[in-house]
């Protein structure tokens, strides 16, 4: 398991919890707007050993509520259940960020009650996934992950980073309908923020939706699922 990043304190990434974030390297998607380029491409950047991470976590017992495991795509790591189990043994809650491409791992984690919160990214309407993720996607696996999350009884959210270059208003409303059809409880529209070092340099100057546009889209999405906007237009 390649742990390439540690954010020592976050007040916003684990809802209502004080947490740290661990960033695991490697991803099977190639979303052009991704800002974790080094993690996705598994670039040669200095990381952390598991023992370094656990030394840090032991020093934060009583100070942090939880640990966010993000990426990259964490579920690609076979040793993830054992890793999370060690974190839980220290008394921390665990939030998992995932793209939903590995329902087998997701099922294992939920059945063993190893996660307390799941945030899954929805990239596009299901029939249009490949055009956004830029790789072959087994949509059956995405659907299975949505069902596992909705049926798990674990607190969760579905989130979508949206931008006009990839998503129409109708696309986003269709994504809200997907969330509703699987029984997902919360849907977040995440504002795209242009920045340097995105996976696809052509998107570094891509235009985001205006806040007014997103508010209008949110109103339509509310017909299907509880929807909020995360992030502000810059």
Q: Give, for 119, the enclosing helix (H) or strand (E).
A: strand 117-121
Rounded to two decimals, the pTM is 0.95
**pLDDT band at residue 231 using 50, 70 and 90 as cut-offs:** confident
**Does 36 have pLDDT greater than 60?**
yes
**pLDDT band at residue 40 using 50, 70 and 90 as cut-offs:** confident
pLDDT tens digits for 167-193? 999 999 999 999 999 999 999 999 998
Of 120, 175, 187, whose CA–CA distance to 147 is shortest? Answer: 120
How confident is the model at residue 2, as a pLDDT? Answer: 84
Of 39, 94, 85, 90, whose CA–CA distance to 66 is shortest? Answer: 94
Please, are residues 190 and 160 in contact by the beta-carbon 8 Å criterion? yes
Q: Considering the chain, what is the average pLDDT of its residues?
A: 95
Please give the tally of structural domains in the chain: 1
Angle at 75 between CA 72 and CA 81, to 5 degrees: 130
pLDDT tens digits for 5-26? 999 999 999 999 999 999 999 9
pLDDT tens digits for 92-112? 999 999 999 999 999 999 999
**pLDDT band at residue 140 using 50, 70 and 90 as cut-offs:** very high
How confident is the model at residue 37, as a pLDDT? Answer: 86
Q: SS3 helix, strand, coil % of the chain, rounded to 5?
A: 35, 20, 40
**pLDDT band at residue 234 using 50, 70 and 90 as cut-offs:** low
The string of DSSP letters for 10-76 reads ESSSSTTS-EEEEEE---S---TT-S-HHHHTT-S---B-HHHHHHHHHHTBTTB-EEEEESS-GGG
* Structural domain that includes position 133: 3-230
Top-confidence residue, 39 or 160: 160
Of 24, 92, 13, whose CA–CA distance to 57 is shortest? Answer: 92
Phi-psi map region of 169: left, alpha, beta (phi>0 left; psi -120 to 50 alpha)? alpha
Half-sphere exposure of 106 (CA within 13 A, CB side): 27
How confident is the model at residue 42, as a pLDDT? Answer: 76
How confident is the model at residue 233, as a pLDDT? Answer: 59
Please, are residues 48 and 3 in contact by the beta-carbon 8 Å criterion? yes
The domain that holds 215 is classified in CATH as 3.20.20.70
**Does 161 have pLDDT greater than 90?**
yes
């Amino acid at each position: 398991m390649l742990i390439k990043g540690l954010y020592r304190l976050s007040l916003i990434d684990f809802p209502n919890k004080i947490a740290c974030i661990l960033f695991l390297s490697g991803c099977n998607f190639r979303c052009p707007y991704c800002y974790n380029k080094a993690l996705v491409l598994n670039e040669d950047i200095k990381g952390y050993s598991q023992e370094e991470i656990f030394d840090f976590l032991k020093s934060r017992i009583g100070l942090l509520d939880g640990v966010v495991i993000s990426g990259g795509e964490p579920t690609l790591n076979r040793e993830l259940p054992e890793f999370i189990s060690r974190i839980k043994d220290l008394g921390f809650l665990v939030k998992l960020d995932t793209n939903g491409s590995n329902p087998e791992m997701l099922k294992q984690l939920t059945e063993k009650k190893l996660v307390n919160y799941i945030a899954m990214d929805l990239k596009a309407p299901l029939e249009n996934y490949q055009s956004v993720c830029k790789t072959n996607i087994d949509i059956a696996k995405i659907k299975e992950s949505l069902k596992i999350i909705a049926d798990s009884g674990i607190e969760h959210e579905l989130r979508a980073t949206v931008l006009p270059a990839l998503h129409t208003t109708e696309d986003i409303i269709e994504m809200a309908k997907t969330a509703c059809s699987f029984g997902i409880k919360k849907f977040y529209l995440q504002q795209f923020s242009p920045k340097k070092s995105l996976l696809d340099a052509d998107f570094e100057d891509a235009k985001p939706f205006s806040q007014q546009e997103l508010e209008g889209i949110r109103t339509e999405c509310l017909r299907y699922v509880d929807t909020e906007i995360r992030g502000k237009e810059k």
